[in-house]
Structure 1
Amino acid sequence: MKKLASLLIGLLILGGCSESDRYNFKGSGDNWDVFYTVDVTSQDSKEATGKIVYTGKEPSPETIIYSIESTAGASSGNVLVDEGEVLVGKSACEGCAVIQRDEELDVEIKWDGQVEEFVLRNE
């Protein structure tokens, strides 16, 4: 019985250490919508994924160069646009600075000689 009680107490303590927060950032420009999800898994580790969607009136470009910047770092790439969308691959880090709930992320998208900049905010 003591072993069972010790096991349950241990699980409760470990369960309390595994708290994580999910932040859903989004923003729009004249030609693009960006959705960026950040899972803060501890005070110094995170995982992030996202999607960039073309909303312009002209046909979507074949490639873009994008940058999503925060105080904790940046995600960027020169990528192909597939049917008007780009999936921002999963990025992760441990022992790093993490994005905060109330932070604003700066986005820059370049394509076909054009540049659009806007801000992402947590919903």
Structure 2
Amino acid sequence: MKKLITILFLAVLLSGCIGGEQYLYSGKSQSWSMTYKVVEAQSGSQQVEGTLEYIGAGTAPETIGYSMNSVIRGQSTTNVPVTDGKVTLQNGSCVDCAIIQEHTKIKVEVIWDGKSETFNLDEEES
């Protein structure tokens, strides 16, 4: 009986995390291409995930730093390992945080090996 109650509780809890809007963003610079997805849940939380891919000449760097900024939110990370020319951005979720809304402008800066490139992510049509 406890298992059934636990399963029902988890189903109700997780149902608040689905059914929201989904926004897809992408952009690139001379050396980097990025995709970014934001899933807004009905419960006032959001899930984000993304990938940075090295498209420049030569060998991809071993580590990078990057920052992402919008009007309502910013994040930055350093010493992120690059594997097979790709970086999986910190997947995460937040509750009662500054939710990224539709048509949000996002600016990305990537820093590696003494170089830096900045580009914007544009929202893709769904």
Normalised by the size of structure 2, how large is the TM-score?
A: 0.79
Q: Does 1:75 align with 2:75?
A: yes
d(CA) in 1 for partners of 2:72, 2:44: 10
- Point out 4+ residue stretches in structure 1 off by more than 2 angstroms: none
Contact 1:52 1:88 in 2 (8 A): yes
Q: Which has the higher strand share?
A: 1
d(CA) in 2 for partners of 1:122, 1:43: 23
Q: Where does residue 42 of structure 1 map in the other structure?
A: 42
State which structure, 1 or 2, has the greater radius of gyration over its C-alpha atoms: 1
Deviations 1:61-95 (A, max 9, x none): 01000111122322332201001000012111111
Q: Does 1:21 align with 2:21?
A: yes
How many percent identity over aligned positions? 33
Question: Which stretch of the first structure deviates more once superposed, 63-72 or 78-87?
Answer: 63-72
Contact 1:71 1:99 in 2 (8 A): no
Contact 1:107 1:120 in 2 (8 A): yes
Matches within 5 A, 1:1-123: 19-42=19-42, 44-78=44-78, 79-123=80-124
Structure 2 residues not aligned, in runs of 5+: 1-14
d(CA) in 2 for partners of 1:51, 1:69: 16
